[in-house]
Amino acid sequence: MILGDLESFERLTADPSMWIYFTVDLSVKSELSDWVETGLNEHKNLILLSFTIIIKSVDKLIGSTSFGNFSEKDQRVEIGRTWIAKEFQGTGVNDEIKFLMLKYAFEVMQFERVEVKTDVLNLKARRALCRIGFNEEGILRSHMVMTHGRRRDTIYYSILKSEWDAVKIKNQWI
């Protein structure tokens, strides 16, 4: 992700309904700007590795995702802060993104665990994570403050390195 992505992000994030399950409302320009700035600062400080998602065949920016909550000692990383433009939701792009990130985490970084967390109410994301091969682990109650002050219950998912080959085969990602 680079600061120059902000203008494109503004066009893609304008619909407030996209942010019901997100911890910030990126349809609000100041929140989007703060979110990008925080991501860039955390990237610079090696806290977060943020990516802009681009469909290369049409050279179109469609969203963002990140690696964060790194624990080198524990050999784990979290995939998070993922959002995809509405027109590309449900097209399989998220599965491809997760595959590339999982492949990098397990095969290049040699991590033992990749985790994802989401709002327990976000059934669409939960179904997608299970379809990909993530295992549901548990719920942290009243875990995070969402937009408009709602407290969310957060559900965790993971894939372990020992499960990675089976996940690739299940999804025909070989």
What integer pLDDT is reported at residue 134 of this predicted model?
98
Over residues 21-34, the pLDDT tens digits come to 999 999 999 999 99
- Please compute the mean of the pLDDT values over residues 151-158 and round it to a whole number: 98
**How far is 62 from 85, CA to CA, in rounded Å?**
5
Tell me which DSSP letter residue 122 carries: -
pLDDT of residue 3: 82
Among 83, 74, 75, 27, which Cα is nearest to 51's?
83
52: left (phi over 0), alpha (psi -120 to 50) or beta: beta
Helix H or strand E segment including 40 = helix 29-44
pLDDT in tens, 52-83: 999 998 889 999 999 999 999 999 999 999 99
> Which residue segments constitute the domains of the chain, with CATH numbers given?
3-170 (3.40.630.30)
Q: What is the pTM of this model?
A: 0.93
**Which residues, in sequence order, are bridge partners of residue 63?**
53, 84
Total count of residues recorded for the chain:
174
Neighbour count for residue 151 (Cβ, 10 Å):
11
